Amino acid sequence: MTDNLKIRPAMPEDVETIIGLIDDAREWLRGKDTDQWAKPWPTEDKRNARITRGVNRGSTWMVEENGDLAATITYRDRGNPKLWTVDELAEPAVYVSRLIVGRSQAGRGLGAALIDWAGLRGKQEWGAGSVRVDVWTTNLALHEYYKRQGFEHLRTLQFEDPWEYPSAALFQKPIAGIDASSAGRFHE
């Protein structure tokens, strides 16, 4: 199958579309033994502000196929100091978040390809040596997904209140483990 996948920076008008993808994923996740995205974290306004910041900073990207939305990803060169150690934060890395594939596009490997795409961009842009992600703590199926993508589980942080930071399972993949042909599925 030949993909016709265009990737472009997200624009302010895409924020509502990204929220729609989250809402669709939330519905799909219901009944899957996780509370991921069961409610906006920490509040709807703060979640929406985080999404908007990612768009405004140019770190959020949209994938379209023949003009239809297929997926989104946010990647950046810095991680949350609440999650990552000082030594980890000192190493150049790609931090991925809000990787969401539209439900109609599931099963095509777009998520894995986007991880590889972001990793290669981070290597080119700031010399990243690894891709890192903090995964929703209760979504064990998602933990397994990242392991199948070559990520190593580093640790899961425990907060007194799990909703203080519910995405505290930390995973890392070396850039050397990236599939460049997978990353090459997208064109700008």
Of 97, 80, 95, 79, the closest CA to residue 18 belongs to 97
Of 46, 50, 48, 22, the closest CA to residue 36 belongs to 22
Model pLDDT, residue 55: 97
What residues contact 177, with CB distance under 8 A and at least 6 apart? 150
Of 109, 91, 89, 90, the closest CA to residue 99 belongs to 109
Distance, CA of 113 to CA of 64 (rounded, Å): 14
Tokens of 2: 């030949």
Cα→Cα distances 186→11, 68, 94, 107, 183, Å: 18, 14, 18, 17, 7
The whole-number mean pLDDT for each consecutive block of 10 residues of the chain, a chain of 188 residues, reads 82 95 77 67 88 97 93 97 97 96 86 96 98 93 94 94 84 95 92
Model pLDDT, residue 1: 42
pTM of this structure: 0.91
Query: Looking at the 3D structure of the chain, how many domains does it have?
Result: 1
Q: Which domain holds residue 149?
A: 5-187
User: Which CATH number belongs to the domain containing residue 104 in this structure?
Assistant: 3.40.630.30
Three-state SS for 101? strand
